[in-house]
Amino acid sequence: MSGGVRIALLLPDLLGTYGDRGNVLVLEQRLAWRGIPSETVTVLSSAPEVPESCDVYLLGGGEDVAQTAAMRVLSRSPGLQRAAARGVPVLGICGGLQLLGTEFTTGDGVRHEGLGLVDAVTEPAGERAIGEVTANSVLAGVGMLTGFENHLGRTRLGAGSVPLGRVTRGTGNGHERAEGAVRGHVVCTYLHGPILARNPALGGLLLEWAMGAPLQPIAEPEELAALRVERTRVRARNPK
């Protein structure tokens, strides 16, 4: 990682609903506050190949057609799969979650094979799940997650993955109150927000995995202010 942390933003021309691209800005800024250089590698769907040498990979959400097109690109050039097999962290959101699973069926009833980085099967439901979500994360130190969801698919996890969290409000995966999926350093979620702006601890964990070193606590007024604003929002949503 001599040239700094390499952040791969995958297929933002296909995947990236509700400002998911903001997750990259959050990672860049948190590194910059610590004086750690970073380089963002934006991989468009027209790129000849997906690089496998990045330190963290991000995929946003997408409509069914865009998601299926993204799946075709990623299965053609297995840079993401190779990096994930080495333990490089991956964050997949919504449509990104679905295509990182083993299979997904789109709203038109067509079944598609996924990349299989998490053990998850998605099928369409009768109605979209739309709205605010809160969930308690199973990842150490991450705590409560909040975000916004808008999806038709419902996702059932197999034995090879654990949920990212347990839903306390909203739908999430739509089965067993699970939200998202985790397998090793591959983290998938239905939460937009962008999720790493609304949940700084999750972004911190991804950066620690990316760097293989703890993220040093520093005096970061902006970061702490963002956290305070988010906690205020959470309390407002869960009055008691």
- Going from the C-alpha of 141 to that of each of 63, 153, 182, the distances in angstroms are 32, 29, 15
* Closer residue to ligand GLN in complex, CB, 84/99: 99
Quick one: which of 13, 28, 63, 119 contacts ligand GLN (CB under 6 A)?
63
Read off the tokens for 32: 């910059």
Whole-number Å distance between alpha carbons of 85 and 184: 9
Q: How far is the CB of 179 from ligand GLN (least distance, A)?
A: 14
Q: Which is catalytic among the residues 54, 94, 151, 185? A: 94
**Stretch 148-187 residues interacting with ligand GLN (CB under 6 A):** 150-153
Q: Does 67 bind ligand GLN (CB under 6 A)?
A: yes
**Stretch 21-50 residues interacting with ligand GLN (CB under 6 A):** none
Active site residue 94: yes
Number of residues that bind ligand GLN (CB under 6 A): 13
- The residues facing 116 across adjacent strands are none
Q: Does 61 bind ligand GLN (CB under 6 A)?
A: yes
Per DSSP, helices labelled H in the chain are 22-33, 64-76, 79-85, 95-100, 195-198, 200-211, 221-237
- Which residues are catalytic, by number? 94, 192
Give contact residues for ligand GLN (rule: CB under 6 A): 17, 61-64, 67, 94-95, 98, 150-153
